[in-house]
Structure 1
Amino acid sequence: MDKTENSHIPMIGAEVFIEPGQSPEEIDLWFQQLQKNGMKITRIRMFESYMHKADGSWDFSLFDTAFRAGEKYDIKIYANLFPATDFTDVGGFKFPKSEANLEEISSYIQHLVPHFKQFTSLYGWVPINEPGSGVLPEDEHSLKSFEDWKAREVKELYNSQGFTTLDFRKEKFLLYYNTWFLNWLTQEIHLYDPDALIHVNNHAIFQHAAEYNFPQWRSFLSSLGGSAHASWHFGYFSRHKYAVAMSANSEMLRSGAGPLPWLMTELQGGNNIYSAFNPLCPTPEEIAQWLWITIGSGSKGSIFWCLNPRRSGFEAGEWAMLNYLNEPSYRMRAASEVIKVINEHADFFSEASVAESGIHILYTRESMWIEQALQVKSDVAEPGRDIGGVMKSALAWFEAITEMGVSPCFNEIGEFDFLREDYAGEAIILAHQISIPSRYWNALESFVEKGGHLIAEGLTAYYDENAFTLMGKDFPFQKLFGGVIKEFILKDRLFELEIENHTHMAHLWYGIIHPVTGQAIAMNEEEVLALRNTFGQGKVLWIPSLIGLGSRITDDYHSLVSLLNRELGHILDQQFFRFSKQQAGLLMKTLQHGKDYLSILINKSQESQEISIQGLENLRPVLWYANKKGTVVSKEQIQINREETLLIRWVSYSD
């Protein structure tokens, strides 16, 4: 895999955890198990603490054993930098603590990289395990770097009309600082291994997305990855929604990677007892679901954390794909079955790409910053105004579209291509994105003017990038949205909102609109509560109420799906495949290879389902995979059992 190469068969693997006390025979057995189960890739944490001796000498022998085993069994190894840290530090370093510590990290790389680049099993380097700290660290190096950054900061041309505004320099610096340190580590690695592949896995993306500048990372990464541990990272979802969580996480990574390959660097492989926020043991069915979802989202592979359980400390005995006797668990066997299908159809999977939906759910990091900055201690938790409200709103629309059998794109606004000449057949959804930075105002106008369809919901565009409210007669989106807000009113935690004779459950607020060019589509007596506006060649639907979160709180997306069918019917009709009707609890990902298509269907509902798919005509189904005895007769007659995953290849009747 290199910076432009996406055409190889997806590789599935599991991380081998190396620690003192392990025997060469045991390490050899783990790599043998990887090979026997069809796994081709692993990752190893290169613990400096287990190599660098107290007298200053280096002993690599323990890890040499693992790399030789990789060569023996043809297993590719991602070497994950892990400079000296406290034994209880489960995630590893995120930033240098001081200039002295930065020099120590440089020395560690200088000793480590030249030694291990000699092994043919070395596949690439991971500079940091799970970058993303949530807040700016209060250490010497970070604080000094922050002051240096402020000293050379260029004053923004846009200044919120000269008003005094909140200070988001810490957030902006953290965005810069993550990028700087990853790039610095990459350059250090390339001093000794110039052609090395560089990969990194962010984590907790629904919470940490605001500090990841993926487009800038592309300049020095070979591939992008992520950690998607249900126990750690899916707190915004209940367990029966973990499949859609994996889909959303994957789509965010696919967007961030852009032209680069991406793979899911960490998936939960086994049971956890004391570690993580929400302990669980994945079922074999969930293992298969997560693998197929990532592949259906364009991933070039996945690596489970982990193959063997560490023996001591935090996470001891947890997370593993092998049992304590070093035998494959049911989870490992489920992964192996997935690998067999990938290998049987290697020609398709090596060249397949995601069948694009044309529907883009955009989030803005500034919305996440402002939401965080404006928090106050409250006796009542309300999703719309708590931390996570803007992301959960975006996720609500993602879930609704998923129930239609369509997989929307999930982009940070800076990852969307606003430079095209034609956006006919494309839609953007801004769900409760409370901040729309000034640099995107004209871009959004251009998108709609050139034929795009925009849905703005909730308190979208309430603020600019500085938490300055945009509400008022000089509202910059007046022409685009077709009106201005008179005021927002707190109604109730849940209340009914009638839009074009359809009842929606909305959350907390409704906005009263003064129409200018837009057509009213929702009224409360004489108050206008929603507009539809034509702008250039495109259209805008503006609903300044949180109908997405209302649907999510009630776990009922019927009204939202109905709205989407009415509003985006012209885009939905161009889908290669989608469900003939809404299917709560089901999702479908579609891959394309030339004129060939593959549907990946997953049933997370509580019972078996008879489903029908609409889309391309004159195709017959060929069942590639069914792990619960589901059956496929035609597009109109598909039987999928509870917790089942089906893979359906669509071929021409003439083939």
Structure 2
Amino acid sequence: MVERIFPFGATYIAGGDFPPKEDAKKDLEKMKKLGFTVFRTWVSRSSIEQKAGVYDFSEIEEFLNVANDVGIKCVLTVDAGFPPDITREEIGEGIIGVNTKIGKPYPHFQPCFDNPHVRRGTAEYLTALSSHFKNHPALYCWISWNEPHITYSDIACYCEYSVEKFRKWLNAKYGGLEGVNTAWNERFKSFSEVYPPNRPLRSWGKYKPWLDWRAFCDDNLAEWVGFVSNALKKGDPNHPTHTNLLFHQILYNQPAVGADTWKMAKAVDSLGVSIYLWTQGGGDFPWCFSQIVDTVRSAAESEGKEAWVTELQGGPTIWAHSKSVTPSPKQIELWAWQTVARGGKGLIYWLWRPRIGNVHSGWENNEFGLVSKDGELRPRAEAAGKACRTITKNADLFLNARPNAKIAILQSQTCKNAAASEIPDETIFHPYEGQRRYYTQSQLGAYKILWEEKIPCDFINPPSIAAGMLNRYKVLIMPFTYMLDEPSANAIKNFVRKGGCVIADFGCAMKDEYGAVHITSPGFGLDEVFGAYSYDIETPDDDESLKVKIKPVIEGSIFEANLPLYAFREILKPYDKAKVIGEFINGEPAIVENHFGGGKTVLVGTLMFQSYLLKGGGWRTFVKKLLHSCGVKSPVDVENVPSTLWCNIEIGFLEHEDGKTEVVVLLNHNREDLDLNIRMQNVYSVIDLETGKELSLERKDENTYLKMMIKGKSARILKAEK
């Protein structure tokens, strides 16, 4: 088995468009000297298989031998999605979309893995590759697929093989043609008449066929990645497999790429993500970075696996992305600690030395490098090495500690797929732009509240809820969960009955998972759980607010506020035992609190989380009060910070599996240096992991107080013993 390490490094490719091969040893030695434990590289099938079925592994073997001599491990990326030139004519067309055929020019060829010819040749190659290198001492793991997606503009492949596979998928789901006819309201006489839809919902496409097609595309791409992983495992059962998703399909809503984060987690041994938030995601939004990592980590951990940041901007962009920016050395280091703070178990920067050639990717030339184009160290690389050395020195601590969240945010791929088709603004790559991004911005707003309150959280999807995984949490948050299936609804009902708390806003369970509207919503009996039902929907004035008055159990003080509405005024009709704790300006119920079994619920009749993201106001305090009443607080309190700066202090809180040790990562995303007063509970010793020094503490009852200074755009990493 592979020795467990914290994989920290950068992508390094030699030859072709990249630095010359003869520089490999000295470049890898520089990485090793900085403390890097791995480097990532690509293996080119076109270079290896220049004659069908005949493989020449000498080039990559020579590279790995150099790595072994240096003493650094290799994360090897296979290019399964790009067959060699010699087979492209045999394969014919690649992905066939609604409006395009992605087959030529050949450098951008994307084959369809539903084509049996593609599968056969690819499987043979991958198994031969992994079998050849399975015992190489420099190999750390395989990346089965880099940034898996089908297309950006079209939905998926409509070739004959994909269509036939879709028919078999429908047959398995509905138990035959009669079931498909009933579900789709059709009269097909045979499966040969069944075709995937090519008209999105806003183009008068049919709801159920469209969502079935989208679900199939998610399943299918995950199956493709699993196929590649299995082919590698056949030749090398010992080294793990990995894939890295695109960040914008996680943070924003781009379902056309066909990647469901949770389904991808099933296809590989560890799950990663490529993050270019500054250059492609709108700008410097540190909470967005954390949300991406927490989402990937949650999906991976649901399968008992680990999460990495597999690609992270290491240097300047000029024109390759939508924004030109060079991260500072402080930012390079801060991102590393942010990854650790959210429970990430690996980090690889893109890339070590920039491209210099012009054959395939000249448009990325001289970009992204941690070092200069001639290989000389830059302060960015030194900063990455500084973080790496502390992480490596304490690898056992970081690898065996994770966030112990008491809150889960519900994230639904069904809602994402439907919302992207129903709501025009959903696919914008920016947290604040767009007016009708109800699903995406509700997710962003819910996470932002918890991030600013320093409260750790996980994400959870409906299948995990239906499987009983809610039992590990105290609170479930449902941001604009307007579509929900019955098994998940029943699991939520049982969660509340057993003492859980659920907070939901506008549109909760308005539709089932196929878009049918419930006459009484929240549907599937959740109206009884929330103690109210949706009576009507109205449009508020832009500056309209609602009045709320609550008295949480724990704090005892009454909270009164006027909270801004967004987009909708959903009139709620409470049942007899429910309590109205918020009213619209006309006196109609706006927020209903209900006790159901041993737990409680709060239903809000507007887009609360989107309102907070776009308007701010008192929603964060409102949610905090609700969470406190459910027994959920931040495990670490930070005091003595001006309110304008407090929100940009991030705290990562990880609990070690020994039950006695905690890791506290304090991150200052402000430019200003700050003096912090920190309060923790039941802690007797705190060590600064960068200096190794024990810090002075003041104890009072069960509280431990600590004073420290943290520089702007910097982190402090603490080990606390209970």
How does the TM-score come out when normalised to structure 1?
0.87
Deviations 1:547-576 (A, max 9, x none): 22122113x3x6123112321114555653
Which of these residues, 309, 313, 319, is aligned with residue 264 of structure 1? 309
What secondary structure does 2:568 align onto? strand
Residue 496 of structure 1 aligns with which residue? 545
Residue 276 of structure 2 aligns with which residue? 229
Q: Report how far residue 9 of structure 1 moved.
A: 4.5
Q: Report how far residue 111 of structure 1 moved.
A: 4.3
Q: Report how far residue 280 of structure 1 moved.
A: 2.1
Q: Report how far residue 293 of structure 1 moved.
A: 1.6
On the 8 A contact 1:623/1:632 being kept in 2, the answer is no
On the 8 A contact 1:160/1:466 being kept in 2, the answer is no
1:179-218 equivalences in 2 (<5 Å) = 179-204=222-247, 205-207=250-252, 211-213=258-260, 217=264
On the 8 A contact 2:260/2:413 being kept in 1, the answer is no
Q: Does the C-alpha gap of structure 1 residues 291 and 515 become closer, same or farther in structure 2, counting only changes over 3 Å?
A: same
Q: Is the counterpart of residue 333 in structure 1 residue 352 in structure 2?
A: no
Q: Is the counterpart of residue 255 in structure 1 residue 298 in structure 2?
A: yes
What secondary structure does 1:128 align onto? strand
Residue 99 of structure 2 aligns with which residue? none
1:171-182 equivalences in 2 (<5 Å) = 171-182=214-225
Q: Does the C-alpha gap of structure 1 residues 490 and 247 become closer, same or farther in structure 2, counting only changes over 3 Å?
A: same
Deviates more, 1:86-95 or 1:585-594: 86-95
Query: Counterparts of 1:569 and 1:338 in 2: how far apart (Å)?
Result: 35
Deviations 1:442-471 (A, max 9, x none): 111011111001000122222211112225
1:304-453 equivalences in 2 (<5 Å) = 304-312=349-357, 313=361, 314-351=363-400, 353-375=401-423, 388-416=437-465, 419=468, 426-453=474-501
Q: Report how far residue 485 of structure 1 moved.
A: 1.0
Q: Does the C-alpha gap of structure 1 residues 275 and 38 become closer, same or farther in structure 2, counting only changes over 3 Å?
A: same
- 1:185 alignment partner AA: V
Residue 287 of structure 1 aligns with which residue? 332
- 1:99 alignment partner AA: P
Q: Report how far residue 212 of structure 1 moved.
A: 4.4
Tell me: higher relative CO, structure 1 or 2? Use CA pairs within 8 A at least 6 residues apart: 1
Q: Is the counterpart of residue 132 in structure 1 residue 129 in structure 2?
A: no
Deviations 1:107-163 (A, max 9, x none): 432443333334221222121111134631344543443344334442579989999
- 2:272 alignment partner AA: G
Q: Is the counterpart of residue 507 in structure 1 residue 555 in structure 2?
A: no
Aligned-pair identity (%): 19
On the 8 A contact 2:407/2:475 being kept in 1, the answer is yes
- 2:635 alignment partner AA: F
Unaligned stretches of 5+ in structure 2? Answer: 84-102, 187-205, 550-559, 699-704
- 2:637 alignment partner AA: R
Q: Report how far residue 641 of structure 1 moved.
A: 3.0
Residue 648 of structure 2 aligns with which residue? 585
Q: Is the counterpart of residue 11 in structure 1 residue 54 in structure 2?
A: no
On the 8 A contact 1:70/1:76 being kept in 2, the answer is yes
Q: Is the counterpart of residue 117 in structure 1 residue 134 in structure 2?
A: yes
On the 8 A contact 1:460/1:544 being kept in 2, the answer is no
Q: Report how far residue 509 of structure 1 moved.
A: 0.7
1:556-595 equivalences in 2 (<5 Å) = 556=616, 559-571=618-630, 575-580=634-639, 583-593=646-656, 594-595=659-660
How does the TM-score come out when normalised to structure 2?
0.80
1:487-636 equivalences in 2 (<5 Å) = 487-493=536-542, 495-500=544-549, 501-516=560-575, 517-524=577-584, 525-554=586-615, 556=616, 559-571=618-630, 575-580=634-639, 583-593=646-656, 594-617=659-682, 619=684, 621-625=686-690, 635=705
Q: Does the C-alpha gap of structure 1 residues 162 and 170 become closer, same or farther in structure 2, counting only changes over 3 Å?
A: closer
Q: Does the C-alpha gap of structure 1 residues 504 and 606 become closer, same or farther in structure 2, counting only changes over 3 Å?
A: farther
Deviates more, 1:264-273 or 1:78-87: 78-87
Q: Does the C-alpha gap of structure 1 residues 91 and 194 become closer, same or farther in structure 2, counting only changes over 3 Å?
A: farther
- 1:265 alignment partner AA: T
What secondary structure does 1:613 align onto? strand
Query: Counterparts of 2:609 and 2:128 in 1: how far apart (Å)?
Result: 53
Q: Report how far residue 262 of structure 1 moved.
A: 2.2
Residue 169 of structure 2 aligns with which residue? 149
What secondary structure does 1:479 align onto? helix
Residue 643 of structure 1 aligns with which residue? 713
Q: Report how far residue 544 of structure 1 moved.
A: 2.0
1:96-107 equivalences in 2 (<5 Å) = 96=113, 98-107=115-124
- 2:146 alignment partner AA: N
Query: Counterparts of 2:489 and 2:371 in 1: how far apart (Å)?
Result: 52
Residue 192 of structure 2 aligns with which residue? none
Residue 68 of structure 1 aligns with which residue? 65
Q: Does the C-alpha gap of structure 1 residues 195 and 56 become closer, same or farther in structure 2, counting only changes over 3 Å?
A: closer
Residue 345 of structure 2 aligns with which residue? 300
Query: Counterparts of 2:119 and 2:596 in 1: how far apart (Å)?
Result: 53
Q: Report how far residue 350 of structure 1 moved.
A: 4.1
Query: Counterparts of 1:160 and 1:484 in 2: how far apart (Å)?
Result: 27
Residue 170 of structure 1 aligns with which residue? 213
- 1:458 alignment partner AA: F
Query: Counterparts of 2:107 and 2:487 in 1: how far apart (Å)?
Result: 39
Q: Does the C-alpha gap of structure 1 residues 57 and 354 become closer, same or farther in structure 2, counting only changes over 3 Å?
A: closer
Q: Does the C-alpha gap of structure 1 residues 571 and 151 become closer, same or farther in structure 2, counting only changes over 3 Å?
A: closer
- 1:182 alignment partner AA: V
What secondary structure does 1:491 align onto? coil
Query: Counterparts of 1:160 and 1:610 in 2: how far apart (Å)?
Result: 62
1:24-35 equivalences in 2 (<5 Å) = 24-35=21-32
What secondary structure does 1:568 align onto? helix
On the 8 A contact 1:82/1:92 being kept in 2, the answer is no
- Note the aligned Cα RMSD (angstroms): 3.4
Query: Counterparts of 2:278 and 2:115 in 1: how far apart (Å)?
Result: 32
Query: Counterparts of 2:469 and 2:132 in 1: how far apart (Å)?
Result: 47
Q: Does the C-alpha gap of structure 1 residues 215 and 474 become closer, same or farther in structure 2, counting only changes over 3 Å?
A: closer
Q: Does the C-alpha gap of structure 1 residues 90 and 298 become closer, same or farther in structure 2, counting only changes over 3 Å?
A: farther
On the 8 A contact 2:474/2:500 being kept in 1, the answer is yes
Deviations 1:149-178 (A, max 9, x none): 334442579989999854212111112102
Q: Does the C-alpha gap of structure 1 residues 330 and 408 become closer, same or farther in structure 2, counting only changes over 3 Å?
A: same
Deviations 1:288-321 (A, max 9, x none): 1211121122222211111121223242221121
Deviates more, 1:519-528 or 1:54-63: 54-63
On the 8 A contact 1:600/1:647 being kept in 2, the answer is yes
Residue 470 of structure 1 aligns with which residue? 518
- 1:40 alignment partner AA: T
Unaligned stretches of 5+ in structure 1? Answer: none
Q: Does the C-alpha gap of structure 1 residues 81 and 420 become closer, same or farther in structure 2, counting only changes over 3 Å?
A: closer
Q: Report how far residue 203 of structure 1 moved.
A: 1.6
Q: Report how far residue 537 of structure 1 moved.
A: 0.4
What secondary structure does 1:545 align onto? coil
- 1:601 alignment partner AA: L
- 1:295 alignment partner AA: V
Deviates more, 1:444-453 or 1:170-179: 170-179
Residue 197 of structure 2 aligns with which residue? none
Query: Counterparts of 1:473 and 1:62 in 2: how far apart (Å)?
Result: 62
Q: Does the C-alpha gap of structure 1 residues 619 and 309 become closer, same or farther in structure 2, counting only changes over 3 Å?
A: same
On the 8 A contact 1:94/1:132 being kept in 2, the answer is no
Q: Report how far residue 355 of structure 1 moved.
A: 3.7
What secondary structure does 1:331 align onto? helix
Deviations 1:75-128 (A, max 9, x none): 221221114369989998584373333333234324433333342212221211
